[in-house]
Amino acid sequence: MQADTAEPNQLSPFRRYLILFSVILATTLYGTTILVVATILPQMRGSFSATTDEISWVMTFNILATAIVTPMSGWLATRFGTRQVMVFSLGGFTLATIMCGLATSLEGIVFWRIMQGAFGAPSTPLAQSIIMDTFPRRQHGFVLGLFGFGVVIGPIFGPTLGGYMAEIYTWRWSFYLLFPIGVLATCVLHFVLRPDRAEDRKRVSLDWTGFIALSVAIGAMQLILSRGQRLDWFESTEIVIEAFVGVVAFWIFVAHTLTARQPFLNPRHLLNRNYVLGLVLVAIYGMLNFTPMVLLPPLLREHAGFPDTLVGIIIAARGIGGMIGFLLAGFFASRFDPRISMTIGFGMLFAAGIWLMNVDLNVTALSLFLNAFLQGLSIGAIWVPLSVSTFASVKTEDMAETTAVFHLLRNLGSSFFISVCVAEIVRSTTENYSRMAEMISPFNKMLTLPEVIGRWDLETTSGLARLGQEITRQSAMIGYLNAFGLFTAACAATLPLILMMNRRSTQQ
């Protein structure tokens, strides 16, 4: 039997690891673009003469397209073949990436960002499915540890890379730089992936009712999360309409899924206890993964006075910790009960959250560096045992569909929790500013005491302005501490879920 048509357990070790390298490269490339735009939005806004609300669609529509197409990964792989979909997906993503850099209008960049998200969405779930199909179960822990680099490390280094290229050249080079890597990854995937066998493809019709209903529900949720803070949540008619449409669409999806013969997503997967618990845990994992990366930079730049370079170093420490965490998790995955590894990982993340809850505006860069390193180590340590436990008893033919839902919930968890934390920061900042500003009054006798007022000058306009700035800083700090408290509480909520999981079998 030829290698190209061999079963997974008959592939040579060299071929297996070449496949592993190619899908990691593809996943890292896609992961890098998730948050790269966050650092170059100001330049893009000036380039296209757009308002803040208009330029935000560059990120919003990309996330929306990714969320809608991700659940389709399983059906696409079943209908057209995993190899064909993976190569086509990465090729389209690479083309959309270079077109983003060449865009000359706001409409153009928004369109190509939609294409970038739509084409790239299947790459992560299909990559994980390919790896788990290529390697025997006894090696899943190790290879998933390596695969985790692309899933988690790419989004960590993406903003750093984008900001660096935008500072030296222009924002367009953040996309140009990824184009040759995308071409290389596409070519490698084309030659190393096993051709899809005829029996692996099934002429399965798409359940359009389930797909459209789920797409509308996910789209409405993403729009609410992306625009809610800017539009004052349910005080906005737009948000109310989106919420109503989303709830109705989700109800139609659930009702149709439970009654259709061949639903878009098969509900029988929910009978697998480890898989269901894994979905809940990966949603929490998504909540915890990117939130500190989104919250810390504005806190450090705007309120603690850290330069951009130092902020980048602190974020990079998270990536370094993540690399070590993935390697250690992959090495120990087959030696320990995954529940122990997950408990240790979430425990370290809980400790990092407690640490953040006790910082103030005088925090040192070293303290934040060590905290970020601990976060990265935790994230890396959690991913491998979580993935192995979740898919331990999932059949090979169901991998594409189940991994798609797995990564969809990871992304939704991230979007949801970031929006909740930002809303809490804004709410708490406003409320605490009002309370503290009330104390600044000529009728407050405490302010006449030198030991209370200190060096603040309340007799001049400039002195009051400086005091107002300080109140803003302290109010914002309270808001961030509240958000870190939510982060810590989410970590603690994982423990009972981990204990409910079954110990997986380490046999092939």
Q: What is the per-residue pLDDT for 471?
A: 84
Average pLDDT of the chain, as a whole number: 81
Say what percent of the chain tops pLDDT 70: 86
Query: Does residue 83 carry a pLDDT above 80?
Result: yes
Q: How confident is the model at residue 2 (pLDDT cuts 50, 70, 90)?
A: very low
Q: What is the per-residue pLDDT for 251?
A: 94
Chain segment 120-156, per-residue pLDDT in tens: 888 888 888 888 888 887 777 778 777 776 666 666 6
Q: What is the per-residue pLDDT for 351?
A: 94
Average pLDDT for 437-466: 68
Query: Does residue 493 carry a pLDDT above 80?
Result: yes
Are the beta carbons of 90 and 38 closer than 8 angstroms?
Answer: no
Average pLDDT for 95-99: 92
Say which residues have a Cβ less than 8 Å from residue 114's Cβ, sequence separation at least 6: 61, 62, 64, 65
CA–CA gap between residue 222 and residue 227 (Å, rounded): 8
CA–CA gap between residue 74 and residue 83 (Å, rounded): 12
Are the beta carbons of 282 and 346 closer than 8 angstroms?
Answer: no
Chain segment 196-238, per-residue pLDDT in tens: 665 555 666 677 888 888 888 888 887 887 777 777 788 888 8
Q: Which amino acid is at 268?
A: R
Average pLDDT for 356-373: 89
Average pLDDT for 70-82: 82
Q: Which phi and psi (to 5°) does residue 64 adopt?
A: -65, -45
Chain segment 5-19, per-residue pLDDT in tens: 445 556 778 888 888
| Strands annotated E in 287-412 | none
Q: From its phi and psi, is residue 400 left (phi > 0), alpha (psi between -120 and 50) or beta? A: alpha
Lowest mean pLDDT among 95-109, 359-373, 436-450, 460-474: 436-450
Q: What is the per-residue pLDDT for 10?
A: 67
Are the beta carbons of 123 and 86 closer than 8 angstroms?
Answer: yes
Chain segment 160-190, per-residue pLDDT in tens: 677 677 777 888 888 888 888 889 888 888 8
Chain segment 418-430, per-residue pLDDT in tens: 888 888 888 888 8
CA–CA gap between residue 373 and residue 190 (Å, rounded): 36
Nearest to 75 by CA among 405, 401, 394: 401
pTM score: 0.79
Higher pLDDT, 386 or 152: 386
Q: What is the per-residue pLDDT for 371?
A: 92
Nearest to 303 by CA among 181, 448, 472: 472
Q: What is the per-residue pLDDT for 508?
A: 39
Chain segment 322-336, per-residue pLDDT in tens: 888 887 877 776 677
Lowest mean pLDDT among 254-258, 316-320, 442-446: 442-446
Chain segment 439-452, per-residue pLDDT in tens: 777 676 666 666 55
